[in-house]
Chains A and B, each alone.
Chain A
Amino acid sequence: MALTIKALNPGFVAKVTGVSLGEPFGEEVLAEIVSAIDNYAVCIFPDQPLTDERQLSFSARLGPLETTRRVNRADFKHRLDTRVTDVSNLDENNCLVARDSDRRMIAMSNRLWHTDSSFKKTPAKYSLLSARAIPSEGGETQFADLRAAYNALTEKKKQEIDDLIVMHWLTHLRSKTGFDHFTEAERAVEPPMPQVLVRTLPGLGRKTLYLAAHADHVIGMPVPEGRMLLMDLMEHATQPEFVHTHTWRVNDLVIWDDRCTMHRVREFGITEVRDMHRTTVSDVGPTIDQARVA
């Protein structure tokens, strides 16, 4: 064991030390990292100063990388490599974005509980978020453990939802935040996608909810009924006992398993810089195909 793993939240969040992620390391260390994520779902690696190149090369060892969906916004000039999602409040000149800019309004939706890329046919497997500059207060990221939340459901509720399929949709955020400036490219590239509501994790065979703010409706249910079910499940899954709040330090790299967690960012001052760089590893296929194979 090269790594030191310390549970911050038993079975859910761990602090991992003993590896420098910006340097080359062996396959056995990589296997230990994957095993830590399987066990904990959220792993915090403190003091990992990374360049985008190094973050990319480490991330690529975990699987194929997503391209930021901002490529569908011709109006955005990219500050970073398109394989790095720019989770900052900065424009391409490293200046704070305007208060009412589309960039900031889109980022507002990160304050809703979600899991990355659930609106894509093949969603995210892991997200890796590197803290480059952080505000003096606020801006915490909260994580919800959807495996523990599933386990805590009544048997009746488990039976009711076990085989349900949910349509996830990027533009569904409109009904939550009121943001409606989606481009034609975004609408065309990102139509509603079906995802299972309950999935089984390949690593340890555990069952988990799969939920996000992008979940729009449940197939086979009247829209309001499905949406109420989704809201009730989101609320259940984000009760304090399933939630861990991470207060960032510069050079924290946090890896989370998007297949079994939700996360959201908390409020921070609008005049301070928050510069976070995310790389995103794609899952092996659509959740529905994975469920069929299993």
Chain B
Amino acid sequence: MPLTVKPKNPSNPLFAAEVTGVDLSQPVADNVIIEIIAFMDIYAVGVFPGQKLSDEMQVAFSKCLGPVRPSRKNLRPGYKHRIDMQLSDVSNLTPGNEIREHDDYYRLSDLGNRLWHTDSSFKATPAMYSLLSARKVPSWGGETQFADLRAAYDALPEGKKKEIEDMIAMHAIMYSREKVGFTDFMQAERDLQPPVPQLIVRTHPGSGRKTLYLAAHAGEVVGMPLPEGRILLLDLIDHATQPQFIYTHNWNVDDLVIWDDRCTMHRAREFDMNEVRDMRRATVQDVAPTIEQEKAG
């Protein structure tokens, strides 16, 4: 047992813990990978401090958890990537490492990260894990908050659990961006990213726990009038992001935080846009669309 685990929040001890005792820049043995996955099944968010990683090392470790998928930004014609092609660039920097202008297209699009979401829920097969490495952090703000959607599900009244049990929501990147008034998408991006169906309630395979599956990307509920579905989704997100379900992570350089996208939401908080925030994310794909998984389970 090389790993040392310390829960971050005593009042929700089964959500978000710090992990030490492993160097992720080196090849990690299979039995340790198994231990990390078992840890993630329990805690959903793992904070690994002091992990000095190159892009290559981050990708190599991430691949131990499953197939790594590139950023959707590559679907936009003309997009220039600053870092390893297999990582998503969650920074406010241009390809030339300059801070992006106030009204820069990608800066405005990335403001959508300040809405509660889970990564890639707008893809038919969404993300299983995200691994975010802090390379440069601003002097204030820029925290990432995580919401425990298993605990949020558990806390729903029985009537509400029954009501939403078999519901399907349509997710699209355009839905979340429309919420912040960002509608500047090229036809190619729209064509390649149509809304996809996802369950609202799913069963987490590792823990067997039921969990909500929600995101700002969710724009309608199948079979409900549009406004009614939207309000239902808003109410559920409101419920799931109450203080008792939240862990707020204040970043240090070289933190690697891994979260389970199947049972959490997260969002970034405000920071001074004249300061550099350079975060790089590897995204590990889930095994199948949520509806197929539940049927198979």
Contacts and interface: CB of A to CB of B under 8 A. Distances in A.
Interface of A: 99-100, 104-105, 108-109, 111-112, 175-179, 216-217, 222-228, 231-232, 240, 267
A36 to B, nearest CB: 31
Interface residues of B, number: 27
Nearest to A100: B225
Interface string B223-234: 001111111001
Contacts of B231: 108, 111-112, 177
B199 to A, nearest CB: 21
Nearest to A109: B227
A228 B141 CA distance: 15
Q: Is the interface of B mostly helix, strand, loop or mixed?
A: helix
Interface of B: 102-103, 108-109, 111-112, 114-115, 177-182, 219-220, 225-231, 234-235, 243, 270
Contact of A179 (B103, B112, B114, B226): B226
A178 B220 contact: yes
A105 B228 contact: yes
Nearest to B228: A108
Interface of A is mostly: helix
Contacts of A216: 181
A224 B227 contact: no
Given A175-B181, A267-B235, A224 B226 contact: no
B227 A177 contact: yes
A179 B225 CA distance: 9
A228 B114 contact: yes
Nearest to B103: A222
Contacts of A226: 181
B114 to A, nearest CB: 5
A176 B115 CA distance: 13
Given A222-B103, A224-B108, A224-B181, A177 B114 contact: no
Given A222-B102, A232-B270, A175 B226 contact: no
Given A111-B235, A222-B103, A232-B270, A227 B226 contact: no
Given A223-B181, A227-B181, 15 more contacts: A108-B230, A111-B235, A175-B179, A175-B181, A178-B229, A178-B230, A223-B182, A224-B108, A225-B102, A225-B108, A226-B181, A228-B111, A228-B114, A231-B115, A232-B114
